[in-house]
Amino acid sequence: MKFGIKKLIMTGLVASLVMVGTMLIQVPTPTGGFIHIGDSMVYLSGILLGPVAGSLAAAMGSMLADLFSGYGIYAPATFVIKGLDALVVGYIYHKLVTQDSAVMKKMTVFGVAVFLGGLIMVFGYLAYESILRGFAAAFTGVPGNITQAVGGGVLAAPLVLALERMKVFESLKSTIHKA
């Protein structure tokens, strides 16, 4: 995959949006992490930029949010987990949705993609926090991570539809692929 200057700039901008979305509202969890609305931007990054660039934007933005928010212990895991999350969402969405797909198909595919991406996030943090704090303590974070994944999907769904309706994805594809 070629990473032209326009794609690199868009990846940086989306990483910034992921970071801000993650830092905007933070609710501490019993495991020492936090619940946030940044997952909506993680999902959008995979869809807006495609799986590879979107994965990089989600990974970088989420990791930087951890570092700047004082959750540095999570930064390495977050980089991998959120990157995989956006990669899966972007890959599924781009493989199954076309410009001509009906709204119902777009939302169904989006829901499946977010469900699978959310599973990666929930089980990724469960595994990481099990290493840090033990399985029993890590398991207390599962409800918060599920809430975060579902909430991110609920917030991102209308944005996906609005961006599709405004032909932002189509415009973005032509802009960043010309570079």
CATH architecture of 5-24+32-178: Orthogonal Bundle (1.10)
pTM, two decimals, is 0.91
Share of the chain above pLDDT 90, in %: 77
Report how far Cα 111 is from the mean position of its chain's Cα atoms: 13
Residue ranges of E strands in the chain: 27-28, 34-35
Please, what's the b/e burial string for 93-127 (b: 16 or more CB within 10 A of its CB; e: otherwise)?
A: bbeebeeeeeeeebbebbeebbeebbebbbebbbe
- Stretches where the chain sits below pLDDT 70 are 1, 174-175, 177-179
- Domain positions in the chain: 5-24+32-178
Structure tokens at 15: 């990483």
Angle at 13 between CA 7 and CA 15, to 5 degrees: 100
Give the pLDDT confidence of 93-118 residue by residue, as tens digits. 999 998 889 999 999 999 999 999 99
